[in-house]
Amino acid sequence: MNTASLAIQTSQVDLQLQKLHAKTAKVGVIGLGYVGLPLSLLLSEAGITVQGFDIDGSKVSQLEQGTSYIYRIPSTEIERARSQGFRATSDFSLISEQDAIILCVPTPLTEHRDPDLSFIECTATNIAPWLRRGQLVVLESTTYPGTTEEILIPILNRLCPEGLRAHEQGADPDGNVFFVAFSPEREDPGNNTVARRDIPKVIGGHSPAAGLLASALYSTIFGKTVSVSSTQAAEMTKLLENIYRCVNIALVNELKMLSQRMGIDIWEVIDAAATKPFGFQAFYPGPGLGGHCIPIDPFYLSWKAREWNFHTRFIELAGEINEGMPDYVVQAIGEALNTVRKSINGSRILVLGVAYKKDIDDLRESPSLEIIEKLQHERALVDYNDPYLPTVGRGRHYNLGMTSTPLTHLADYDCVVIATDHSDYDYATIVSEANLVVDTRNATRGIVSTKIVHC
Ligand SMILES: NC(=O)c1ccc[n+]([C@@H]2O[C@H](COP(=O)([O-])OP(=O)(O)OC[C@H]3O[C@@H](n4cnc5c(N)ncnc54)[C@H](O)[C@@H]3O)[C@@H](O)[C@H]2O)c1
């Protein structure tokens, strides 16, 4: 390398950095769901021109009409982003116009609970032919360590225009290369205690130049970026965070079941323990794990660990306890009905809340769905109410075909089950009107009534 080529070498990265700092870079966001849509809005709000991509034509057309399909995102925010240039499309040829491309596609489990990377593979296949020199590609989907390097980059390299390659550490950054990084999404939907821009953004570049570009991109919308040494370290960081939650929730669920046998109020215990100013973080029991992340992500790591002949015992045990919670709830409902000389079979049961947690409209992996299915299996007549989800149709793991029932005839039900503690519910009224209440979330805390059974 001579001095002249060194001068040229930095130019491509410098040019991209300048564009990112000046917010004149164009950013493509692929997958306009719970992660990709808010991210697009955040980028638009920062003054960046965003082109959204999604294979779901109905989402694209709604966004093109300025309409939101996510409860907590008002349509006015879509309209505002549109006035700043935000557009949605299924036309992947527009990838070539972008300076940076962020992938926010799903990473679920297959029927056999193995990682399903088909969405990442499909996206890589769709964008590769349109890649060009100097672009930055960032994967945000939660996945096992090695996905960026072992799955994403090989597809991009194989299908991109001839001569173009992902930039490797030590290679010429001013060559015919694009740059690749991994940066996990760490948002907690419905949690408004921390503004999104105040959640530090972890970034791992496939090469130092890729890391530099990704940091510049995310610095436009996040207060702090945290660079790690590799894409694998960034992938593992996200899994550590979610496994930490999963294991601690399992622990507190186990202690809840024990406390109930011992006649101790676990919620009182957690509140007391949480007064310790160090060494303890409160986690709360519930009817089981839900959402796209905590019930799924740990199994991405246990699957990958098998390649290394390693058995992830904590993950398996936590999974076992958490997955058993809907059964525990159904058993508690049976025991509660038994005290009033009724059985699940033939009882009318109202389940409150089908979203996987309070104040959101997301029912992916929600334990409420499993509880409803189990109650129906035991021949209960089940209705549900959820202010955020007027209907529950068919998903990957359920087929309910139900409509939310109004909260007007609570006395008609033999049992009301609080599965999700939405803030909209008036718990005092629910307890006073219902015949029997099984509370899985301690939502009736402070209400004294013999009708309440905590589980
Ligand atoms: N939802 C969360 O709170 C959250 C938090 C942190 C991380 N994550 C992770 O972020 C990723 C995305 O999650 P999400 O909740 O936004 O999922 P989502 O299902 O809400 O959205 C994904 C979007 O990608 C689209 N899509 C699928 N395949 C595509 C393709 N080939 N090309 C273009 N678009 C495609 C879908 O139509 C959908 O609109 C997942 O890996 C998830 O684990 C999610």
pLDDT single digits (tens) 47-70: 999 999 999 999 999 999 999 999
Backbone phi, psi, residue 415, to 5°: -150, 140
Give residue 36 CA to ligand 1 midpoint distance, Å: 7
Q: Does ligand 1 have an atom closer than 6 angstroms to the CB of 141?
A: yes
Count Cβ atoms below 10 Å from residue 109 Cβ, excluding itself. 18
Q: Which two tokens stand for residue 73?
A: 């995102």
Protein residue with least CA distance to atom 18, ligand 1: 33
pLDDT tier, 73 (very low <50, low <70, confident <90, very high otherwise): very high
Mean pLDDT of 3-24: 77
- Report residue 10's pLDDT band, with 50, 70 and 90 as the boundaries: low
In this structure, what token pair is assigned to residue 34?
């719970």
How many beta carbons lie within 10 A of that of residue 155, not counting itself?
Answer: 17
DSSP letter string over 323-361? HTHHHHHHHHHHHHHHHTT--STT-EEEEE--SSSTT--
- With cut-offs at 50, 70 and 90, classify the pLDDT of residue 193: confident
CA angle, 330 then 353 then 316, to 5°: 55
The whole-number average pLDDT for the span 172-177 is: 95
Q: Which residues is 87 bridged to in the sheet?
A: 51
**DSSP three-state, residue 110:** coil
pLDDT tens string 365-412: 999 999 999 999 999 999 999 999 999 988 777 889 999 999 999 999
Distances in Å between the Cα of 104 and the Cα atoms of 31, 124, 300, 341 are 5, 12, 17, 51
Write the pLDDT tens digit of every residue in 319-364.
999 999 999 999 999 999 999 999 999 999 999 999 999 999 999 9
Q: So which residues are the catalytic ones?
A: 293
Residue type at 259 in one-letter notation: S
pLDDT band at 8 (very low <50, low <70, confident <90, very high): very low
The overall average pLDDT reported for the chain is 95
Cα angle vertex 10, ends 48, 210, to 5°?
55
Structure tokens at 274: 């949480």
Ligand 1, atom 7: closest residue by C-alpha: 185
pLDDT in tens, 18-43: 999 999 999 999 999 999 999 999 99
Q: Are 257 and 435 in contact (CB under 8 A)?
A: no
Neighbouring C-beta atoms of residue 131, cutoff 10 Å: 23
Q: What is the set of domains in the chain, with CATH numbers?
A: 3-229 (3.40.50.720), 234-323 (1.10.1040.10), 324-455 (3.40.50.720)
Report CA Rg, the chain.
24
Structure tokens at 219: 């610095």
How big is the CA angle at 28 (ends 25 and 30), to the nearest 5 degrees? 160
316 close to 298: Cβ distance less than 8 angstroms: no
Task: Find the 52 Cα to ligand 1 centroid distance in Å.
Answer: 13
Q: Long-range contacts: 429-434, Cβ < 8 Å, 24+?
A: 430/352, 434/350, 434/410
Ligand 1: which residue has its CA nearest to atom 26?
31
CB-ligand 1 contact for 107 (6 Å cutoff):
yes
